[in-house]
A = this chain, B = another copy of it.
Amino acid sequence: MGVKEKRAKYREEFRQEILDAARELFINEGYENFSMRKLAEKIGYSATTIYLYFKNKDDLLLAICEEFFGKFSARLNHIRTVSRDPVETLRQAFLYLMDFGLKKPYQYKLIFFTKSVYGSREELVKTESMARATFIVFKEIVQDCIDAGQIKHMEAAVIVDILVAASHGVITKNLYCANFLKERSGIVARTMVDVLLRGLQK
C-alpha cells in the first residue's frame, strides 16, 4: 500500500471515529443539545478540526442517516428473502420500523424528524442514497402484495407513505405528547398495524 493510500485510510478511520462519537452524542443529547464543541472535547480535538472531515453539523447528521438507512434497507431485503407470504413480509417490515422507533425513540427522531438532510425531492432522486434505496425496497414489498392480489389495488408509493407515516405518528406521539401513556405505546403500535393492514386488504 502506497503512502497516499495509507494516508487516505487513516483519514477514513479518523472520519469514522468522529462519526461514532457524533452518533453517540447526537442520540444522548439530541440535535439541539449536540454541539461541535462537545464533540470536539469528546474526541480530544479542537472544534474546527471536525470541519476538515465534515462540511458542518448537518453533514455529520447526513452521514449518520446514511449509516442507518444502509442497515435498514439490508434488513428489509433480508426479511423479503426469508418470508414467503407477501402480506406477512409487509407486516414484518412495518413492525421492524415501528419497533425500532419504540425502542430507540431519540434515534428515530434524530433520523426522521430533525432536518431534511436529503434536500429537495429532486436532489434526493438525482443522487443515489441509502435512504432512497430503502424506500425502493419498501415499495417492492408493497408491490408484491398488490401483485399477489392481497391488498387493494393502488399506487404502491401511496401505501408506503401511509405505513411509514403511521409509524412516524406513533413515535411522535410517544416523544411529544404528554397525554400519551408510554405503557400503552406497544398496544397502540400493534393495533395501528392490524387496523391498517385490515383496512388495506381487499
Q: What distance in Å separates the Cβ of A79 from its nearest Cβ neighbour in chain B?
A: 20
In the complex, A191 Cα to B112 Cα: how many Å? 22
Decide: A184 near B157, CB < 8 A? Known: A116-B176, A131-B179: yes
Residues of B near A184 (CB, < 8 A) are: 157-158, 161
| Chain B residue nearest to A192 in the complex (CB) | B162
| Chain B residue nearest to A32 in the complex (CB) | B32
Is the beta-carbon distance between B120 and A191 smaller than 8 angstroms? no
Is the beta-carbon distance between A169 and B165 smaller than 8 angstroms? yes
Residues of B near A114 (CB, < 8 A) are: 176
Copies in the complex: 2
| Interface residues on chain A, number (Cβ under 8 Å) | 47
Is the beta-carbon distance between A165 and B170 smaller than 8 angstroms? yes
Decide: A158 near B112, CB < 8 A? Known: A173-B164, A178-B119: no
Residues of B near A123 (CB, < 8 A) are: 178
Decide: A158 near B178, CB < 8 A? Known: A165-B172, A192-B165: no
In the complex, A65 Cα to B181 Cα: how many Å? 20
Is the beta-carbon distance between A118 and B170 smaller than 8 angstroms? no
Contact of A180 with B by CB under 8 A? yes
Mark A residues whose CB is within 8 Å of B.
112-116, 118-121, 123-124, 131-132, 135, 154, 157-158, 161-162, 164-170, 172-173, 175-181, 184, 187-188, 191-192, 194-200
